[in-house]
Amino acid sequence: EDQVTQSPEALRLQEGESSSLNCSYTVSGLRGLFWYRQDPGKGPEFLFTLYSAGEEKEKERLKATLTKKESFLHITAPKPEDSATYLCAVQEGGGNKLTFGTGTQLKVEL
Amino acid sequence: SAVISQKPSRDICQRGTSLTIQCQVDSQVTMMFWYRQQPGQSLTLIATANQGSEATYESGFVIDKFPISRPNLTFSTLTVSNMSPEDSSIYLCSVGGTQGNTIYFGEGSWLTVV
């Protein structure tokens, strides 16, 4: 059975303090690894899809990387508006189902 | 990206009643999905809504409890039947993107069963 584990569960950063969120996974045949941002009271907002080890994608202050066992979401010089829950999900080859981790709740303070 | 509208956005329901959630997409999509997010937990796939055929349900979810319709390529409904407090969750509609392997979510329907 696919498993996705995210760490830490919660992270508090000062504005400008860069850090990384981790998503480790176990899946037989990765089709894609997804990152989402979820604000309170809203649905998940799509950020990235990664497909193979070594792949990297960037969007503003966020960069996602992928290895054969885990993915990192690097946040460079975060701002308070980056505060949200970041969700990781995996999609197994041949299927469309996303299996989600429990998320990392990020709070960026002034 | 697809624009996904869900109705209702929020509701308080009486135990034993049923509620139908609507999902409308601004473009034709092949894949539509329904997820549940229980309080403090992550998202779990309920079923894949197939256009022109019955929905495909994940383990632990059954059609009698969560009947789904998909009359066309832009619309789907999820009914939560005979609700109990354990059904209090966010229900999310999701669609496959038209550009690459992207999957988008609606804003969710927050149901509280009392």
Distance CA B78, CA B23 (A): 8
* Best A97, A99, A102 residue to mutate vs chain B (most B CBs within 10 Å): A97
State which amino acid sits at residue B100.
G
For the segment A8-30, the average pLDDT, to the nearest whole number, is 95
Distance CA A73, CA A85 (A): 12
pLDDT score for A49: 94
DSSP one-letter string for B76-92 = EEEEE-S--GGG-EEEE
**Is it the case that residue A2 has pLDDT exceeding 90?**
no
Q: Token pair of A54, please?
A: 């070594």
pLDDT score for B97: 63
CA distance B39 to chain A (A): 11
**Is it the case that residue A36 has pLDDT exceeding 90?**
yes
Name the band, by pLDDT with cuts 50, 70 and 90, for residue B30.
confident
Distance CA A100, CA A71 (A): 13
| List of chain A residues whose C-beta atoms are within 8 Å of the C-beta of residue B31 | 96
In a 3-state reduction of DSSP, which class is residue A29? coil
For the segment B17-34, the average pLDDT, to the nearest whole number, is 94
pLDDT score for B99: 56
pLDDT tens by residue, B60-114: 999 999 999 999 999 999 999 999 999 999 999 999 865 567 889 999 999 999 9
* Mean of per-residue pLDDT scores for chain B: 93
Q: Is the CB of residue A21 less than 8 Å from the CB of residue A81?
A: no
Contact A51 B101 (CB under 8 A): yes
